[in-house]
Structure 1
C-alpha cells in the first residue's frame, strides 16, 4: 500500500526536498525523532508525506531563520496545538450558547 501512495505522488523524497530547500537531512531526522513529523522508508529511500510539508517549512523557519532549538520548536508545537484545541472548544461553546439564546 505504501508503494502505491508513493507512486501517486503523495510523498516526496527527503534527500531531494533537503537539496531543493537547502536544509540538512539531519534536521528532518531531528523532527522525526521528536515526533513532530512522520517519515516512511521504502527501497532504501526515505519519504516525507506532502501533508507534512507545511509543518516542515514552519519548523525549518523556526530553526534556521529564528535560531530556535528543537526543544523550543517542540514546546511551540505543543502550545499551538493547545491553542487550536481551545479555539475549537470556544467555537463549540458559543454554538451551544446560541442554541440557548444566551449569546
Structure 2
C-alpha cells in the first residue's frame, strides 16, 4: 500500500478549515472511508473530489450530515442516469443509420 496516495486528515483539516470531528462524523455516517496509516488517519486521494463537495455543502450551505448524504445520493443517481442516457442514445444512433 503506497502512502503517497493517501492524504492525512490533519492536512485536510488545515486546508478546508474544519475540525477533525467533521471527518470522523462523515466516516461514522458512511460517507467517507478513513484509513489509518502509520497511526495517522488518512483519506485516499481518489475520494477528495467527493469530500470537497461535502465540505462545501456543510460550510457554504450549512447542510447537516443527513442532508449531505441525501445530496450525495441524488448526485450519484443523476450521474448514473446520465450514463444510462448516453448509452441509450448511442444504441439509438445504430438504428437511425
When normalised by structure 1's length, the TM-score is 0.86
Structure 1: tracts of 5 or more residues without a match = none
1:23 is paired with a residue whose SS is: coil
1:33 is paired with a residue whose SS is: helix
Moved over 4 A (4+): none
Question: Given that residues 16 and 55 in structure 2 are in contact (C-alpha distance below 8 angstroms), is that contact kept between their aligned partners in structure 1?
Answer: no
The yes-or-no answer on 1:95 pairing with 2:90 is yes
Partner of 2:42: 47
When normalised by structure 2's length, the TM-score is 0.91
Aligned length: 97
| Distance in 2, Cα, partners of 1:20 & 1:83 | 29
| Distance in 2, Cα, partners of 1:74 & 1:12 | 22
RMSD: 1.3
Residues 68-95 of structure 1 show CA distances to partners (whole Å, capped at 9, x for unaligned) of 0100000001111111111111111111
